[in-house]
Structure 1
């Protein structure tokens, strides 16, 4: 019996089903603004990170379905500007926006805009890093969604949207080293309401310019995915819609993404879908077919030459095992695993993996604003996922705490919620804080504390604690995970002190268990 992939998706299935098929999303978490390429038989993708550090996530796959994070392009957000630093933390919802990755002259190239500071680029010989120090190509505000392209004659170009100027899309030549824009060459090649998500390709001698824009259909505005094509890079271009989108409640608007061709010659579209739900914008994979020289994304169900959302199908290639989505850490390395990101740029002298090997030591910082969790520096977090069962557990050792210090497990996006311990007058007390609504718990006499958050598809989290790691008790109220600042919900650990710079905690383990539905 043929699978109903849409039903499976609604039930919580995702990714590789273990029987040669897959279900969308292929990654049920916040991997927004993706772009993807193939080099040999390896696939690489990038995803925007906004105010999180390190910036611009890099992912790897062998089959376009099973992905893992392998690194970041930007190690220090202050190389973009001072507002990203722990003493300002002033770039929520901004920062590293959608970019593009390309392979050219035996190097990987990534370009991206931030809406306030300009255009940046970096290169690497290995996409896992290290990446060259970030280079600012253009100091400017109001631009986004760029993509580099090198033509057959070696001339490089950049396509980008000037969103502050009526969403005009410009095509500009690059210098030979790719580090400068030749502004005299700039031309506006397209404009429409909300036109962005730009990618530029040359396929079988024809230039294809991919983008999305906001159009009204039956009185409802949705983001439509468009393709322009021309025999000449500056046009004139023909235009065609290549997938219908029907709004966030129906197909979740697949739009931002990239086309990629497999070794066998098949084409696919890697995309995010933006519903503004607690998981953010998850990663999806859609087949691409070519008809009369135009790509059709998804499936043309009604014969109008335009695709519709596809919720699953046969894997692009077999022979690669399903990835067990694990983001747990026992901190036994001298660097953080790639799925960890700090809230803005952390204070380097306030965390360590070497002071006590096998532990993450978080020294307490004084917040910029003592009554604002979003002003707490050195909050270390990762993406939360939308699956049938999620369980995040942190084991803390509290022996190094000082008066005024608070530390624990947190969720945050638009709102925040913490379960932790606060030390007052030498006494440690369990504390729950839902965006300023505090519930105090019992005194804690030992030095070990386990804190846990459990949530499912609806994103309602319930919290537990344990003093022995075996017997857990409920504590605090239920908390609705949220979306905010263009990010899905984050889960992580924190430590701060409103009275001084004293105290630390040691995080022994962070376990994150993700479970989907049984394979059908």
Structure 2
């Protein structure tokens, strides 16, 4: 039994970029870039394309390299897994993606979306690859930036096929487009016609647009045009890059993403109409409608929220014992992390010495929500060592936090930030500004409830930090500006952290997380 569901964009007001989407029978699955967060490569599930819940993570950890584990001063910020391709073929789920830190391309397979997933590698490095199974049992990857290639694979997907097809489908010179050129490939065959969807920026200004190229055979030259140039009247930020999918009733939709400032890149649902042998029509003649409906294949289905509160009293057998809404910043160190479900807290113990928050192992995160986010957590810092810092952060390249530190046996509340040095989103340069402490307050009781508020509306990207005193929250330090930049390439997140600047082994307990 189906029922109508009203679509409201963004369909997920959270950082889920580079999406791909498929339908298997009456169920839709969507995959997204998770980069350096672990567990990684999240797949979501829906029955109506509007409401989504967690289905699985493809891996708990990837290659356990020193950088993925935050060993020494190494890290993979702005790297990790990008732009996965999700496919279902002959009873098997396939996930293909490249990791920019290892420069490898991975293929994971499973008979059930919840796993277990088997990990293999495809010889070579394929940027933003789209996996494609053709009707003649040949398999291809379509990938690249500025030059978009199609490469035939061996039947076991282990490497390019010897003497197989290998050709450029689309190319664009830097002179023709000095901004982002064609990438983010999604390749399909619909009613006998090949369709290649790509993202690019307009050549005369930074704005993402969706492009489409078509051909009746792989021997033909692909012809193309921009099919969606629309910012939904939001800050000039275009909507592009993602997959298309059909419904059981034969309707088609695209799920693309939109840059939205520091909160990240959020999925946008767009109706699609096909015309035989012609370019598909996105939205209402190239504009995303404000109001439209989809059909649900499971009416009144209760979706589990993708973010939310946690009292840490429920046991989860997977994902390091945590609810799937939590991800670690990089691969965790199990020796420095535990969950006490009887008393309801997470304990983070330090396993290295570092002088910066971004090198803190076992930092536990949740995505912040658009257009506003607020969360609080109670921190028990009794077992900190001198020089340790534990607290609650807004995690991004230009981070900020409120925390508790211990010095010469005394406890202090502190508010610190990493101020922005460059607002340019396209800069890969790490934020090398000095961390600044704005306020320090002596405290007698190292058990404190901390709070963060964030305002992302119209890309204000302002966060404020608080501590609870006599039942009321008091702001500590000034408001702080965060920003989405390519140095981290992810939306701002809430983070629970603890790190040591002098001697490892201290710990803090986090309880009553209220989103």
Please report the TM-score for the alignment, with normalisation by the length of structure 2: 0.85
1:126-172: CA deviation from partner (whole Å, max 9, x where unpaired)? 3233322x3221244xx4110111122322111111x3xxx221111
Distance verdict in 2 for CA 1:248–1:343, change over 3 Å: farther
User: How far is the alpha carbon of 1:487 from its aligned partner?
Assistant: 1.2
Contact 1:412 1:482 in 2 (8 A): no
Give distance in 1, aligned partners of 2:149 and 2:219.
10
Give distance in 1, aligned partners of 2:163 and 2:233.
40
Q: Match of 1:278?
A: 262
Give distance in 2, aligned partners of 1:325 and 1:113.
25
Superposed counterparts of 1:3-152, under 5 Å: 20-79=5-64, 81-87=65-71, 88-116=73-101, 117-132=103-118, 134-140=119-125, 143-152=126-135
Contact 1:45 1:58 in 2 (8 A): yes
Q: Match of 2:423?
A: none
Contact 1:222 1:245 in 2 (8 A): no
Contact 2:353 2:504 in 1 (8 A): no
User: How far is the alpha carbon of 1:278 from its aligned partner?
Assistant: 1.2
Q: Match of 2:426?
A: none
Q: Secondary structure at the match of 1:420?
A: strand
1:174 matched to 2:153? The reply is: yes
1:432 matched to 2:398? The reply is: no
User: How far is the alpha carbon of 1:297 from its aligned partner?
Assistant: 1.1
Q: Match of 2:198?
A: 211
Q: Secondary structure at the match of 2:129?
A: strand
1:370-403: CA deviation from partner (whole Å, max 9, x where unpaired)? 1x3222222211211122x421111122232222
User: How far is the alpha carbon of 1:491 from its aligned partner?
Assistant: 1.0
Contact 1:149 1:157 in 2 (8 A): yes
1:345-371: CA deviation from partner (whole Å, max 9, x where unpaired)? 222211112597632110023344x1x
Please report the TM-score for the alignment, with normalisation by the length of structure 1: 0.85
User: How far is the alpha carbon of 1:416 from its aligned partner?
Assistant: 1.0
Give distance in 2, aligned partners of 1:253 and 1:83.
33
Give distance in 1, aligned partners of 2:344 and 2:207.
49
Q: Alignment partner for residue 196 of structure 1, among 170, 178, 183?
A: 183
User: How far is the alpha carbon of 1:237 from its aligned partner?
Assistant: 2.5
Q: Match of 1:510?
A: 513
Distance verdict in 2 for CA 1:248–1:222, change over 3 Å: farther
Give distance in 1, aligned partners of 2:68 and 2:454.
31
Q: Which consecutive unaligned segments of at least 5 residues does structure 1 have?
A: 1-17, 301-306, 513-520
Give distance in 1, aligned partners of 2:312 and 2:162.
47
User: How far is the alpha carbon of 1:475 from its aligned partner?
Assistant: 1.8
Q: Match of 2:492?
A: 489
Contact 2:207 2:237 in 1 (8 A): no
Q: Match of 2:464?
A: 462
Give distance in 1, aligned partners of 2:348 and 2:300.
38
Give distance in 2, aligned partners of 1:124 and 1:330.
32
Q: Match of 1:351?
A: 337
Q: Match of 2:478?
A: 477
Give distance in 1, aligned partners of 2:220 and 2:136.
18
1:287-344: CA deviation from partner (whole Å, max 9, x where unpaired)? 00123433111111xxxxxx12333422344834685664222222241222222222
1:415 matched to 2:398? The reply is: yes
Distance verdict in 2 for CA 1:220–1:482, change over 3 Å: closer
How many corresponding residue pairs? 474
Give distance in 1, aligned partners of 2:334 and 2:219.
47
Q: Secondary structure at the match of 1:97?
A: strand
Give distance in 1, aligned partners of 2:337 and 2:410.
24
Q: Alignment partner for residue 379 of structure 1, among 337, 344, 363?
A: 363
Q: Secondary structure at the match of 2:67?
A: helix
Q: Match of 1:4?
A: none
Contact 1:209 1:228 in 2 (8 A): yes
Cα RMSD (Å) of the superposition? 2.5
Q: Match of 2:377?
A: 394
Q: Secondary structure at the match of 1:154?
A: coil
Contact 1:78 1:345 in 2 (8 A): no
Contact 1:160 1:196 in 2 (8 A): yes
Q: Secondary structure at the match of 1:181?
A: coil
Q: Match of 1:288?
A: 272
